[in-house]
């Protein structure tokens, strides 16, 4: 009695994340990658669709000087209908706020599902700056317009059919359909049109995506910037359209992707499921080597 139990860490250490340098293992052995910039969007916190575990893993392994939250981070529409808020969704908000506290510049550009935050445009919440749009300058001096993308819905949806026939997904579907029905014939089952079922949806989706990409790129051209970064359509992509760079950081519902900028201005789309697989394979290999 009378002796003070010494904790294995200083309380201040818990908040001393700024001290961690690039690629340096932390106390828990996690190597954190460091990028110049990270863009994520379409997390849809407050819905069952949100892949929170995957995003938590991403946030635990990736650091950046600047982080853009490119809209639809929260899903206010769903939350209003049916309140759904598991602890993991809190963990994400907490991790982002913690990042702001330890010095990451965070810009939050609300989308259409979290439009309620647009009323706070220009304000700063504990280091998270809320903006309607932003211009990001890369390390090599390219100027990129950052926006969510729903501002083009009216135009995208009003231009219906822009036949991008001969697209790969459609043809794969046709081949698949033949196989399915060859099998069904062999099993004496009636014909069932997979392609007919999917054709309509796939065609419309592809038309919508390419239309969206072209319209957003056109806006960038009009604005006189070198490129544009958007979210909204849940389709990660990099394309050069009419002399303008088009980036989409994807989503954390299905794709689980982020867009990152390396220190030299090089851009990359990270598919986090692939990154986890690669990490686990490397860990297994290391364990096997150690055991040998």
Residues of this chain that bind Mn ion (CB under 5 A): 72, 111-112, 150, 232
Give the burial string for 98-128 (b: 16+ CB within 10 Å, else e). Answer: bbbeeebebbbbbbbbbbebbeeeeeeeebb
Structure tokens at 264: 């030299």
Which stretch of DSSP H or E encloses residue 130?
strand 128-130
Minimum Å distance from CB 112 to Mn ion?
5
> How much helix, strand and coil, in percent to the nearest 5, is found in the chain?
40, 20, 35
Least distance (Å) between residue 150 CB and Mn ion: 5
Between 253 and 267, CB nearer to Mn ion: 253
Cβ contacts of 195 within 8 Å, gap of 6 or more: 170, 173, 174, 176, 177
Q: Is the dihedral of CA 234, 236, 238, 239 positive or negative?
A: negative
Which H or E run contains 213?
Answer: helix 194-223
Q: In whole angstroms, what is the distance from residue 271 CA to residue 249 CA?
A: 10
Closest distance to Mn ion from the beta carbon of 54 (Å) = 19
Nearer Cβ to Mn ion (71/227) = 71
Shortest Å distance, C-beta 20 to Mn ion = 33
Token duo for residue 234: 């849940």
Closest separation between CB of residue 114 and Mn ion, Å? 9
Q: CB of 261 within 8 A of CB of 36?
A: yes
Minimum Å gap between C-beta 175 and Mn ion is 33
CB 44 within 8 A of CB 52: no
Nearer to Mn ion among residue 227 and residue 231 (C-beta): 231
Name which of 17 and 208 has its Cβ closer to Mn ion. Answer: 208
Q: Min. distance of Cβ 42 from Mn ion in angstroms? A: 6
CA 269 → CA 174, 176, 196, distances in Å? 30, 29, 33
In the complex, least distance from residue 12 CB atom to Mn ion, rounded to whole angstroms: 40
The CA distance from 164 to 200, in Å, is 13
Q: Containing H/E element for 281?
A: helix 272-291
Closest to Mn ion by CB, 207 vs 251, is 251
């Amino acid at each position: 009695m009378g002796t003070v139990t010494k904790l294995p860490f200083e309380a201040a250490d818990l908040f001393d994340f700024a001290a961690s340098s690039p690629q340096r293992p932390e106390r828990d052995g996690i190597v954190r990658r460091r990028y110049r910039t990270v863009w994520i969007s379409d997390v849809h916190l407050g819905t069952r669709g949100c892949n929170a575990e995957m995003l938590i893993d991403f946030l635990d392994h990736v650091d950046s000087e600047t982080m853009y939250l490119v809209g639809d981070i929260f899903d206010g529409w769903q939350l209003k209908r049916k309140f759904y808020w598991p602890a993991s969704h809190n963990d994400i908000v907490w991790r982002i706020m913690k990042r702001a506290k330890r010095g990451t510049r965070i810009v939050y550009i609300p989308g259409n599902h979290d439009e309620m935050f647009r009323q706070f445009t220009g304000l700063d919440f504990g280091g998270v700056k809320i903006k309607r749009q932003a211009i990001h300058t890369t390390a090599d001096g390219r100027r990129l317009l950052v926006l969510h993308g729903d501002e083009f819905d009216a135009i995208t949806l009003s231009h219906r059919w822009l036949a991008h026939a001969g697209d790969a997904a459609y043809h794969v579907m046709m081949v698949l359909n033949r196989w399915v029905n060859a099998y069904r014939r062999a099993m004496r089952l009636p014909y069932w049109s997979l392609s007919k079922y999917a054709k309509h949806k796939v065609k419309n989706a592809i038309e919508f995506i390419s239309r969206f990409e072209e319209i957003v790129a056109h806006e960038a051209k009009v604005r006189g910037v070198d490129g544009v970064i958007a979210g909204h359509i849940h389709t990660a992509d990099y394309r050069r359209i009419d002399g303008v760079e088009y980036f989409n950081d994807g989503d954390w519902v299905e794709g689980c992707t982020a867009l990152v900028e390396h220190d030299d201005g090089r851009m990359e789309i990270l598919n986090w499921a692939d990154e986890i697989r690669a990490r686990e394979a490397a860990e297994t290999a290391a364990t096997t080597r150690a055991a040998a």
